[in-house]
Amino acid sequence: MKINRMSRDSRRRLLLSMSGGMLLLPLRGWANTAFPDKPVKVVVPFPPGGTVDTVTRLLSNQLANQLGQPVVIDNKGGAGGTIGARLVSQAPADGYTILLTASNQVINPLILKTVPYNLDKDFTPICYIGYVPQLVLVNAESPAKTFEEFVAMVKAKPGGYNWATSGLGTAGHLAEELINITGDLKMPVVPYRGGGPALMDLMANHVSAMVEPIPSALPHVKGGRLRALAVTSPVRAASLPDVPTVAESGMPGFELPSWYGVWGPANMDPAVVNKIYDSFKRTLQSTDVVERLNELSFVVVADPPGPFANFIQKETEKYSNIVKTAGIVIDG
CATH architecture of the region 40-131+260-326: 3-Layer(aba) Sandwich (3.40)
> What pLDDT, on a 0 to 100 scale, did the predictor assign at position 194?
85
> What pLDDT, on a 0 to 100 scale, did the predictor assign at position 5?
45
Cβ of 157: how many Cβ atoms within 10 Å?
Answer: 9
Is the backbone of residue 188 left (phi > 0), alpha (psi -120 to 50) or beta? beta
Residue 116: is the preceding peptide bond cis (ω within 30°)? no
Calpha distance 226→219 (Å, rounded): 9
- Predicted TM-score (pTM) of the model is 0.78
Cα dihedral 205, 206, 212, 218 sign: negative
Report the interhelical angle of 287-295 vs 270-285 (nearest 10°): 70
**Alpha-carbon torsion, ordered 232, 233, 235, 237, to 10 deg:** -80
Per-residue pLDDT of the chain (332 residues; tens, 9 = 90+): 444 444 455 444 443 443 343 333 333 333 445 999 999 999 999 889 888 999 999 999 999 999 999 999 999 998 889 999 999 999 999 999 999 999 999 999 999 989 999 999 999 999 999 999 999 999 999 999 999 999 999 999 999 999 999 887 889 999 999 999 999 999 999 999 888 999 999 999 999 999 999 988 999 999 999 999 999 998 999 899 999 999 999 999 999 999 999 999 999 999 999 999 999 999 999 999 999 999 888 989 999 999 999 999 999 998 998 899 878 888 75
> What pLDDT, on a 0 to 100 scale, did the predictor assign at position 33?
59
> What pLDDT, on a 0 to 100 scale, did the predictor assign at position 332?
58
If DSSP codes are grouped into helix, strand and coil, which group holds residue 212? strand
- Assigned CATH for 134-249: 3.40.190.10
Calpha distance 230→153 (Å, rounded): 16
Delimit the domains of the chain by residue range.
Answer: 40-131+260-326, 134-249
Beta partners for residue 135, in sequence order: 212, 231
Question: What single-letter DSSP state applies at residue 311?
Answer: H
Calpha distance 248→254 (Å, rounded): 9
Closest CA to 162 of 180, 143, 146: 180
Query: Identical fold at 40-131+260-326 and 134-249?
Result: yes
